[in-house]
Structure 1
Amino acid sequence: MTDHTAPLLDVRNLSVSFLQGGRETKAVDDVSFSLERGKTLALVGESGSGKSISALSIVRLLPPGAMATGEALFAGQNMLTISEGELRAIRGARITMVFQEPMTSLNPLQTIEQQIAEILELHGMRGREATRARVIDLLGEVGIPNPEARLGAYPHQLSGGQRQRVMIAMALANKPDLLIADEPTTALDVTVQAQIIALLERLQQTYGMAILFITHDLNLVRRFADTVCVMQKGRIVESGDVTSVFTTPRHPYTQALLTAEPKGAPIVEDENAPVVISADDLRVWFPIKKGFMRRTVDYIKAVDGVTLAVRAGGTVGVVGESGSGKTTLALAMLRLIRSEGPIVFLGSRIDGKSVAEMRPLRRDMQIVFQDPYGSLSPRMSVAEIVAEGLTVQQPELTLDARREIVARALLETGLDPSTMDRYPHEFSGGQRQRIAIARAIVLEPKFIVLDEPTSALDMSVQAQIIDLLRDLQRRRALAYLFISHDLRVVKALAGQLIVMRHGKVVESGPAATIFNNPANDYTRALFAAAFRNQPAPVNGEA
């Protein structure tokens, strides 16, 4: 008989070690915590602190070579020692997981209906009609509009927020007792984040399930969790109810985490500084073709009449939800996709130039991407990655000359030049993003697009990267186009702000003015979601 007074999950003295090159490395060291039914416990800390490894240990999903000791008692059963058969009966039914990036968790070759139905059938549901009815109910429950029409959709046909809702539907399919949510909102816009958190809260009340919530976003923890455990280097350094830990943190590491948000003000833009790049009534329309003759019947107006100018030493921030046209705008200005409307770079129009004509200009325009894990080749050393542009643009340089320039770029971005012959996997996420920035600045460009450069990073590392970008801009008079869904980061770096929705600019001007007094309803909704963690209205697109 189940003891409902005992914690649903009781982790005792959990340790996890990895064998690497004959040496044992401890990733989790003597961790203990408990979680009651219907409550939310947050595990917080920087990357590598042991949060995800602790959670994966509970359901025995650790990578090969990992060894877990201690106890992970779920409803009285030690998950570390039960049989494979008992584990299969619990995993996916009574304990389920939602991961950070749904595109890597969902099967791109299966429809949404097939993937949710598979979970139901694995745990006993029979009958196609009953299964389909349950899938439709689940999609409706997680807020997918017109769920019956979405059954045949594939993951790539859904937005990021909709994909995450599908993952939650799969997790809830068998009415679990415990949901493990591992960074479930990190890749989402602030309004969609707020909607997903509100959805989890509502579903928790409906199902009475416990939630183990893993995140580096302390603002979400403040709003969503009942209790919190702060992890550092595999150990829990502080724990308790959220209010007491956040208002009176005792451990220096907790205090540092709570003050780690990006600070400082953007560099004051010189109104007389030359315009590095500008666009006037820029349009990127993708044709919609139908019928046997593939005639164009309409257009997706990804960017629709955007005008902007970026000055030397200045930053224009671009914000808006997924699908608003932010990245498409940046790619058009870099002439990486076709567009209509004048684009002027360093005093000359470039919108009509060919690929060959653009090649000499590439050294003056660079881009830093969101994901430092995916944007660096794992097969190239840091020296090769950073020097790649030099090899193309300045082939006359000797190997020693290239290495000297690479060393200076690494030093300027806060990296040790002696590490240049190592590979990306040997660096942390923050260090990898510094490598990506070094690759961008090595050619001494005039204009850099920063496309969500901090969203995959912990808050303390975000603050370091923003300080680095601001310092580089001050010393080199760099012009930045800064795309982000994290408005706190934008506020710390951007002097000018553009708010986009459905490809159009709904508000623009000095960032300080817009942040202090937004004039547009959509802008106010974005700010409410970002700064007050209030759920934004569901618009059917998230």
Structure 2
Amino acid sequence: MLPLLSVRDLTIRFGAFEAAKKVSFDIAPGETLALVGESGSGKSVTALSILKLLPPSATLEGTIALDGQNLVSASATQLRGVRGNEVGMIFQEPMSSLNPVHTVGKQIGEILETHQGMRQTAARKRTLELLAEVGIPDPERRVDDYPHQLSGGQRQRVMIAMALANNPKLLIADEPTTALDVTVQAQILALLKKLQRQHGMAMLFITHDLTIVRKIADRVSVMTQGEVVESGPTADIFANPKHAYTQKLLAASPRGAPVLPKSASPVLVETKDLKVWFPIKRGLLRRTVGHIRAVDGVDIAIHKGETLGVVGESGSGKSSLGYALLRLIPSDGKIVILGQDIAGRSGRAMRPMRKHMQIVFQDPFGSLSPRMSVGEIVEEGLKVHMPRLNVAEREAKVVAVLNEVGLDPKAANRYPHEFSGGQRQRIAIARALVLEPDFLVLDEPTSALDISIQAQVIDLLRDVQRRRDLTYLFISHDLRVVKALAHSVVVMRNGRIVEAGPAAAIFARPRDPYTRQLMAAAFDIETTTDGLFPAEETD
């Protein structure tokens, strides 16, 4: 069978920099090829080059043949006929790709009117059909919603509807599930496979998550530093990877067991009936008409030197729980840390406690000041909480903690934008550790990282916990990461704990249906009332 898309010796340059080097691959009609690699490997720039969506500074060499037509040399008019009609594209972040000032119905309808010449009434009818096809509930009502009124999974479904509006022969999906919860991710993957069968599309699926590749791809091409280093059927690549980089990727999943805690450790952190309710205000006088119950009567206890994993989907209350424990947002109920009830303390009274309790945020780039050097960022807390230290003593502490997290102290004069994502997260961890805290809240600290960097950060957190006897509250929707780090787990849904207990017991035999659903989505398994079993192959 002749390939639908054939890429040969594709080289992409930005000035003297080669983002892709002699990349070659084929995609047959109805086939899914996964383009796999870490950030900066050249995956996305290769995909964008197919439709020539790169900036004017980019130069292309080689051929990109779609049904025999070379797109590299295609005119602007020819490309307009290909974009959306022959090739559809789903981008990584739907909120950035959808227009916030237009309804989703108008945005889908605009594609139909522009490319197929439909009248407005016919376009709206077809839009409703597309929304129903991609699983948007009650499409007649949601068609007039704006993007911000939809959940992350629903916004991605809208993006899929837009990509499928003109029945393309090839669908390019650029990290379409990276920002989604594990259950929503599973739903989107199942939807893409279903639609692919129905429409007979070929698919180029770009990802750094090898777990997804197993589920969706027929063949895999592995990229690093702009080059394809290995290609083949998915089963062969996973069973017998030949290139060292592929072997490294496959071995990079979070592994290992939590640090063995000391026996008879006291309870360090405890809450009783903790509540975080956000008022809903309406009307001219902004009267409170209700509350969003982000955390609704939660009891937890974390022993010194242990990790409590808090899991659940977006909106379940995980982050609100962590922020409430550190008194970063208002709450009701009892909060005891280091034997002290801090629930009713004022900001001034909380200040002596701050050095004992620190946080590492999800997005290291957003939480690090771009105007401060790494040394200044790490040192800042010492100036506030340890004012008696002189300059030399502060510098010594900064050097020691940078070494501890695996960063070269010589880089202390550099700025956050000069570091990779994994290195920036190490800086954020160093900033928290330099104060020698007893308790650390880790709010999705690995979700924005490549899988190999993710594994490195987990190993670092385990090593630090072992050396310092630290206590963690680890917030995540990635159960594979939680399994590698947590001693106990609480599962949250709609602000409440639906299941809690030792991590080993919950992973082996979850009891609540919601927990079982999370496990099935995360580990690609089916559940029965007797426990968890590997999923059987289905046609």
Q: After TM superposition, is the score higher than 0.5?
A: yes
CA contact (8 A) 1:220 1:533 kept: no
1:219, 1:533 within 8 Å by CA — same for their partners in 2? no
1:171 maps to: 163
Q: TM-score, normalised by structure 1?
A: 0.93
Contact 1:487 / 1:527 at 8 angstroms: preserved in 2? yes
Shift of 1:395: 4.6
Q: 2: CA distance between counterparts of 1:407 and 1:77?
A: 57
Question: Which residue, out of 475, 480, 492, partners 1:483?
Answer: 475
Matched-pair contact (CA < 8 Å) for 1:191–1:535: no
Tell me what 2:254 maps to. 262
* Residue of 240, 243, 251 corresponding to 1:248: 240
Does residue 531 of the first structure (1) align with residue 527 of the second (2)? no
2:533 paired residue number: none
1:315-358 CA distances to partner (integer Å, 9 max, x unpaired)? 00011111111111111112111111111122111111222322
> Which whole-Å CA distance do the structure 2 matches of 1:391 and 1:111 have between them?
49
Alignment counterpart, residue 415 of structure 1, candidates 407, 414, 430 = 407
Quote the Cα distance in structure 1 between the aligned partners of 2:224 and 2:525: 26
Task: Give yes or no for the alignment of 1:17 onto 2:9.
Answer: no
1:194 positional shift: 0.6
Match of 1:377 in 2: 369
| Per-residue CA distance 1:372-431 (angstroms, 9 max, x = gap) | 333333333222222232333345555554333222221110011111222222222211
Aligned residues: 528
1:20-67, Cα deviation, whole Å (9 max, x unpaired): xxxx22221111001011110001122222111211111222245332
Contact 1:159–1:322 (8 Å) recurs in 2 = no
Q: 1:86 is matched with which residue: 78, 97, 114? A: 78
Q: Equivalents in 2 of 1:345, 1:445: separation in Å?
A: 12
**RMSD between aligned residues:** 2.1
CA contact (8 A) 1:108 1:155 kept: yes
Does residue 473 (structure 1) correspond to residue 473 (structure 2)? The answer is: no
Tell me the distance in 1 between the aligned counterparts of 2:237 and 2:134: 31
Residue number in structure 2 paired with 1:342: 334
Letter in 2 for 1:458: D
TM-score (norm 2): 0.93
* Aligned: 1:8 with 2:13: no
**Farther-moved stretch of structure 1 (30-39 vs 150-159):** 150-159
User: Measured at CA, do residues 40 and 535 of structure 1 come closer, stay the same or move farther in structure 2, by a change above 3 Å?
Assistant: farther
Paired residue for 2:214, among 222, 239, 249?
A: 222
Q: What code does the residue aligned with 1:405 have?
A: K
Q: Is the 8 A contact 1:274 1:311 kept in 2?
A: yes
The structure 2 residue matched to 1:272, chosen from 260, 264, 277, is 264
**Which residue of structure 2 lines up, in the alignment, with residue 210 of structure 1?**
202
Distance 1:9 1:378, change over 3 A: farther
Q: Does 1:65 align with 2:65?
A: no
Cα distance, 1:221 vs structure 2: 0.6
Render the CA deviation track for 1:97-139: whole Å, top value 9, x for unaligned.
Answer: 2222222222333332233233333324443322222222222
Q: Helix, strand or coil for the counterpart of 2:410?
A: helix
Residue range with higher mean Cα deviation, 142-151 or 476-485: 142-151
- Whether 2:362 is the aligned partner of 1:362: answer no
Matches within 5 A, 1:105-504: 105-270=97-262, 272-290=264-282, 294-395=286-387, 397-504=389-496
Distance in 2 between the 1:117 and 1:391 partners? 57
Farther off after superposition, 514-523 or 491-500: 514-523
Corresponding position of 1:539:
none
Structure 1 unpaired stretches of 5+ = 537-542
> 1:417-451: per-residue Cα shift (whole Å, max 9, x none)?
11122222222221121111112212111111111
Q: Aligned partners of 1:477 and 1:515: how far apart in 2?
A: 24
Shift of 1:489: 0.7
For the Cα contact (< 8 Å) 2:223–2:230, is it kept in 1? yes
* Larger RCO: 1 or 2 (CA < 8 Å, sep 6+): 1
Which amino acid in 2 is paired with 1:15? T
**Who is 2:46 aligned against?**
54
2:516–2:527 CA contact under 8 A, matched in 1: no
Q: Using the alignment, how far apart are the partners of 1:450 and 1:192 within structure 2?
A: 23
Return closer, same or farther for 1:317/1:77 CA change in 2, 3 Å cut-off.
same
How far apart are the structure 1 equivalents of 2:263 and 2:342?
A: 24
> 2:324 is paired with a residue of what secondary structure?
helix
Tell me, in whole angstroms, the C-alpha distance in 1 between the residues paired with 2:233 and 2:392: 56
Q: Percent identity?
A: 62
CA distance in 1, matches of 2:150, 2:526: 24
* Partner SS state of residue 204, structure 2: strand
